[in-house]
Structure 1
Amino acid sequence: MSEAPESDYRPTEARLLHMVFPDHTNHLGTLFGGQALAWMDMAAFIVASRWARTTVVTARSEQVDFSQPIHKGDLVEVVARIARVGRSSMNVEVEVINENLLTGERKLCTRGRFVMIALDPLGRPTSAPPLPATA
């Protein structure tokens, strides 16, 4: 099996795993919303950086919905996918899924969108590679 040259490798998805420890939780033992947002932003940054192969910054977070609590001791999987690419912007959809390590039960808990901007070495917006056309 041959792989694409390293310089051509541009994944459209990133997955991060985190354990929810006590210092990540509020007085109810559930994950702080700000911690979830930080993990989501990090995943969006990683997938956008790997796609653009240049410096990227967060321009906006949009429509973040917290639908289920995430508890201390849960495993959290953060999945970020490039959904759309403009000239310099990349829209990234991010999902946060919790997993109970003892039962294996998984639930989609949080979903949001982030807009990341590709920057040139002088910090100005620069072109991001377009997504391949889909059939």
Structure 2
Amino acid sequence: MSKTLITFTLNEQPTKIEVEPNLLLVDMLRDRLGLTGTKIGCGEGDCGACTVLLDGKTVNSCLILAVQADGHNVLTVEGLGTYDKLHPLQEAFIAEGAVQCGFCTPGMLLSAKSLLDENPQPTRQEIAKHISGNLCRCTGYAKIINAIEKVAHGQ
């Protein structure tokens, strides 16, 4: 199968890579670029484990072809913060105990970032609605919502 050269911004870095036309964005990120923070869950767009931001909007990277990133901005959890400089959402998730097994955490963080970029002071109900596409089997969501609310209200 012939490959296509795509050029895009990945975690604020210009990126070029040749991809097959049927390669999924999640597979390119994990297998070709080594960004394993983006998880593969259901593979059907139902669980949100593979959530990344494409031009600031949440997308399920298991449903997007890598070629669709051409000319766009992609943000993964690796671009959100680093070990020595955590994003406020990462700090709040840690402080509130909003991470347990951690499988849903990257998608939750990026969904939360998308919400706060769009609506810096959402209500608790708006937070719950916005993260509803991200499934968590460990926390029961309360701690996750508390963490997002903490950042939104500057606590």
The reply to whether TM is greater than 0.5 is no
Higher relative contact order (CA 8 A, sep 6+): 1
TM normalised by structure 1 equals 0.29
Larger radius of gyration: 1
